[in-house]
Structure 1
Amino acid sequence: MLDAESLESLVEELREIGSDFASVEVKAGERGLPRSVRETLSAFSNGHGGLLILGLAEEDGFGPVPGFDAAKIRDDLASCCSDELTPPVRAEIEILQVHGAHVVVADVPELDGRQKPCYVTARGLATGSYLRGGDGDRRLTQYEIQQLFANRGQPLEDDEIVAEAGIDDLDRDAVTLLLSRVRRNQPRVFAAVPDAEALLRLHVARLDDEGTPRPTLAGLLALGIYPQQFFAQLAVSVVVVPGTRMDQVDDGGRRFIDNRTIEGPIPAMVDEALSALRNNMAHRSVVDGVGRLDVPEYPTEALREAIVNALMHRDYSPVGRATQVQIEMYADRLVIRNPGGLFGTVTEEELGLDGMTSNRNSRLSRLLQDVVVPGTDRVVCENRGSGIPTMIAQLRRAGMDPPEFRPTLSSFELTLPRATVLDEETVNWLSGLREPGLGHEQRVALALMRQGHEVTNATLRRLGLERHEATTALRDLVDRGLVFSTGGRKYARYALRQNLAEGHRSLFDDLFDDVPAAASGQGRAGRPSRSAEIQQLFDNGQTLTAHQVADATGLGLAMVRRYLARLVEAGRLVATAQPTDRKRAYRRAGR
């Protein structure tokens, strides 16, 4: 749960932006508990959790609601969480103060995946299940509800018999290599059994109702000659475009530099997709101990892991089979998208951490760890949860930024940046913040936030920090007044403060760009100048602490300290003690 100071800081940012965030919903509640609260509770529970704030009016600049009965709203909200949603929502609900006014704040946790979806009981599962979309709530689609129910157990679609196929639809050479490998590695199980029995034990094939062995979907995808004969959309599309958007064209009017559909079994699709990407990649020069080398823009092994991951973990349910794995290469990034979101107990926060894995397609995943890539002695995957960590390690070794993950209930999207976020322009922007002592991971986090990306504790962990180090680094950015938290306690998300994001100006410039208007007390866009407001507190010669300034202005303590530090730096105030001194106070310069 947020403390009062963090809540005030969050409300200040809401006022700057003028709207809610995806993980924060603000409602007035002047006439009692709004009916739409039920939808929001469902949406937060089915997503990543979030904060619900009652008692502020968005249309009035997130100002306090006159006559708001915080105690009654708190009790009504607790009853709603307990009695009007299935399963009940276990939110932490408190009454806090914002600039002297009482509001109700609920920290709504994400529901355990085995209990989703959470729905408004009176509306039923089909029409009462919601998810966040932008800063609002939308109904779950039937496919999304299906995916949530699939997450409660182990899907078996990859173990289904393909009734139209026969054993002759499997590639004999690939089958021979597979059996040779498993007999060598597991002689007790496979050495003494005939080929037909071995294929049944591996679930490459199963017996149909008439006792005839037929390939399973997993067997056909891993070892088939042409799986698309039976499932036309179980393929990979590769599109290369000249710009940063799908609708852009190059100087010659071309919309697509390359556009192909790749078919065949998974080992062949991985190799052909990788070849297509290599053919469309530029190279960059790097200097190592022996001289200058030309290396591809994206590390080959990172791409291989990403493609295998998409094909191995995609949704193979009847509805999911209508969608291909999509690979899109833009001028600034590579996007790989597959149907089906995260499966099992792995959360978005845990993606990329060693040993964290959960297989939607257990039969297929097991087969691919013994299926040999054509023309090599390597297998398609290790199936030990090392795919994404290996990909991240390869990107880090190449000096590139970590991937961005965007899982939804219906799809999983992976984005690989083409170049580092710490380019020359971004480095200059960071220098303009005048923030000494920022670590590399903090600088990357700020750069990602500036580009509009969401940053969490896991983002910094993927950069190599331990969990507690990542928490400390992010809290330091909050304390410096550079970022703010928009999520609940468990899944906090961090965003750049609006005065830094707008125009990409330094906070120092933003703080004092309204100096000519200080006499009138007005800052940018007619807003009261915070610097002028704080300076006026010292006009009569007072010496004040940061706590006293916070009480007088209604600002959060972290923000006040930020303004005071900048006023000291500008020579307008002087501090009476060192920053570590608990008795540190401030007075007008020259007095």
Structure 2
Amino acid sequence: MAAELTIQEPTLFDNLELMEQIDRLFEDSESYDIEFKSARNGFPESFWETYSAFANTQGGTIILGVREKKDHFIPDGLSTEQIAKYKKDFWNQVNNRQCISTNLLKNDDVQEVEYKGTNLLLFNVPRADRKQMPVYRTTNPFGNTYKRNHEGDYKCTESEIRRMIADSDNAHPQDARILEGFSMDDIDAESLKQYRQLFATSHPHHPWLLLDDLQLLEKLGGYRTDRQTGQKGFTLAGLLMFGKVASIQDPACAPAYFPDYRECQSDDPAVRWTDRVYPDGTWEANLFQFYHKVYTKLAAFLPKPFKLEKGIRREDSPTHTALREALVNTLVHCDYTEDANIVVSYTKDRFTFSNPGTLLISQTQYYRGGESVCRNKSLQKMFMQIGRAEKAGSGVDKIIAGWNEARLAHPYVSEISRPDKVVLELPLVSLLSQETLDELKRLFGEEPDTLNNNELLALATCCAEGEISNERLRLMLDLHRSDITKLLQLLCKGGYLISHGSGRGTRYKINQHFFANVTGNVASNVASNVASNVASNVASNVASNVASNVANLPSGKRTRLSPNELQNMILRVCTDYLSLEEIAEQVGKGLRYLKNSIIPEMVARGLLEREYPNVPRHPSQRYRAKR
């Protein structure tokens, strides 16, 4: 049997200078994947809860020797004797099944470092393989399993643990479950008939076409016999794909089933959607019908290329293929036992695909593609037989390739907890459009022609989005964080970019004064053109609003503002989406103060809204006054 492909996850200790890394960690003290703990009075008991949480989520780094004081993290250090003892304690306990279920660390994952005169102990905890999940304390997973969200570690419920256990058993996929008491009367005959027609088109000479409906369903995995118990019946996959919606939503099948497509083309915030497809009782909303109704609507927003293949007109493109794969992925990787809905949406700037469940691979593996781990194998087979699904991997390769070929901003995947959801965003923002390339040449002359593809993408993204960061480029380029840092430093050294901030808070913007003779009004005109053509006047509007707001402030209150005055100033500034760094710069307040105190309160009170409301820690998150 072939060995399973293992991808080495990047760790905190790879490549970058360690001191630079620690500085960045303190800058990003509230990071999703970093946990500081004081250990002055002994090895912290809470270490193992965080270990379990990181292992069951996306991995992370635990740093011992840091205490929290008034929302600030201060290194209080460890003695040489403490570090030696804690290392010994850790290795003894991590290999003790009475303490933790699985040891995921190697020797290189534990390091002691000296930071500004103090000693710290760092532990890099990787994400566990799905077969190792759940990772839990003691010998009983129930009540002792943890996961992590943006608020910290939390104890998993019994149902969350059972779903992890089910996902770890790939030999018994969820959709192969035999349903008792269901018959052919629960199958929508028209859906099965239409499927046969598509199957015949894809495989005109396939022997399964000669089978009757029940035999065909058996071949597809929609009906099966359990060889151990002799039980026969329709499977979850069979009902989900071809069933009548009332039968699918039966408590014995998938009671939370509710696929939902939402389309909004209106600029009026009071309009929630301009079109919607959902189980409204007028059609059989099984997965087969939902897929075809929704894909037709999604594809209508893409331009139709024209080409001939063997004399046959083809109105398809890699972008259409990417959209098809994204929709099928949403349906076949969904956890139908989770109490949440499938939601597919279109807005003017993106497609969004959200399905209940968690990723069965890490986000690093997801972006690299090639991993074939499917939660619902029979559903995957059903879509594959009519040419709608990818068997060799997760289909992510085609999604990314299609979006890259169209020169659109890179797809972004995230996970949300309670309820568990996987959210894939396909932005409709062009990175290397002719307009963007023209602007780059306007700014830099013919210099961009000498740049490699990664450097050009970084500049184009910065031009299109107004700024970039290391984290943003990690979603686009197949490079390690340290290599992206070097790339950004080279672009700064070459005069293309200007950096702002420090550590993980560093942002990079286009250098509007690339040519020495571009001064005064010329530089202003260039900046104005870029803002107008690339950022839709956002930059100029913000600059105008800020100038007006500052000018109108009483002179004695320009530096000392009450919380209400500061919030009012932020609302006046945020007429359109701005990043935290931009807000801090415009109102003259510290980034940490705004991030930890002011902005969260304004969001909670409904004064500000996030550009990515479902992903609070989105690397490109921005805020605007709620309309």
TM-score, reference length from structure 2: 0.61
Code of the aligned partner of 1:238: Y
- 1:309 alignment partner in structure 2: 329
Counterpart code for 1:275: T
1:325 to 313, 324, 342: 342
The change in CA–CA distance for 1:132 and 1:506 in structure 2 (over 3 A counts) is farther
Aligned equivalents of 1:212 and 1:22: distance in 2? 46
Q: Which amino acid aligns with 1:220?
A: L
Alignment of 1:367-386 (within 5 A): 367-370=382-385, 372=386, 379-385=387-393
- Aligned-partner residue type, residue 441 of structure 1: N
How many corresponding residue pairs?
459
Q: What residue number does 1:517 align with?
A: none
Q: 1:11 to 1:349 in 2, by over 3 A?
A: closer
Question: Are the aligned partners of 2:223 and 2:238 in contact in 1 as well (CA < 8 Å)?
Answer: yes
- TM-score, normalised to structure 1, is 0.64
Q: Which has the higher contact order (CA 8 A, sep 6+)?
A: 1
1:36 pairs with one of 35, 40, 46:
46
Identify if the C-alpha distance between structure 1 residues 257 and 502 changes in structure 2 by more than 3 Å, giving closer, same or farther. Answer: farther
Q: 2:20 aligns with which of 9, 31, 49?
A: 9
Q: Match for 1:385: what amino acid?
A: G
- Counterparts of 1:205-354 in structure 2, within 5 Å, are 205-206=223-224, 214-224=233-243, 226=245, 228=248, 230=250, 231=254, 233-241=256-264, 250=268, 253-262=270-279, 264-277=285-298, 281=301, 299-317=319-337, 320=338, 322-343=339-360, 346-353=361-368
CA drift of 1:76 comes to: 2.2
Check whether the contact 1:179–1:195 (CA below 8 A) recurs between aligned residues: no
Aligned-partner SS, 2:143: helix
Counterpart in the other structure of 2:454: 441
Q: CA deviation at 1:149?
A: 0.9
Contact 1:23–1:51 under 8 Å retained in 2:
yes
1:348 maps to amino acid: Q
| CA distance 1:383–1:242, shift in 2 (3 Å) | same
Q: Secondary structure at the match of 1:110?
A: coil
- Report the Cα distance in structure 1 between the residues aligned to 2:500 and 2:159, rounded to whole angstroms: 34
**Distance apart, 1:250 and its partner CA:** 0.8
Equivalent-residue separation in structure 1 for 2:47 and 2:406 (angstroms)? 47
Contact 1:70/1:104 (8 A) holds in 2: no
The one-letter code matched in structure 1 to 2:142 is A
Cα drift, residue 502 of structure 1: 6.8
5 Å-filtered alignment, 1:173-572, equals: 173-174=193-194, 176-177=196-197, 187=207, 196-206=214-224, 214-224=233-243, 226=245, 228=248, 230=250, 231=254, 233-241=256-264, 250=268, 253-262=270-279, 264-277=285-298, 281=301, 299-317=319-337, 320=338, 322-343=339-360, 346-353=361-368, 355-370=370-385, 372=386, 379-385=387-393, 387-407=395-415, 410-420=420-430, 439-442=452-455, 444=457, 447=461, 454=471, 459-461=476-478, 473-474=483-484, 476-477=486-487, 498=502, 501=505
Which residue identity lines up with residue 71 of structure 1 in the other structure? E
Q: Deviations over 1:336-355 (max 9, x none)?
A: 11011123xx4322225454
In 2, are the aligned partners of 1:167 and 1:214 still within 8 Å (CA)? no
Distance 1:425 1:203, change over 3 A: closer
Query: CA RMSD for the aligned pairs?
Result: 4.7
2:177 matches 1:166: no
Write the distance in 2 (CA, Å) between the matches of 1:308 and 1:229. 20
Q: Which protein shows a greater Rg? A: 1
Equivalent residue, structure 2, for 1:565: none
- Paired letter, 1:113: R
Cross-structure match for 2:164: 148
Deviation at 1:237, TM superposition (A): 0.8
2:240 and 2:248 in contact (8 A); partners too = no
* 8 A Cα contact 2:241 2:286, kept in partner: yes
From the superposition, tell whether residues 500 and 508 of structure 1 become closer, same or farther in structure 2 (CA, over 3 Å): farther
What secondary structure does 1:311 align onto? helix
Aligned residue for 1:26, secondary structure, equals strand
Gaps of 5+ in 2: 1-11, 308-314, 493-498, 514-558, 560-627
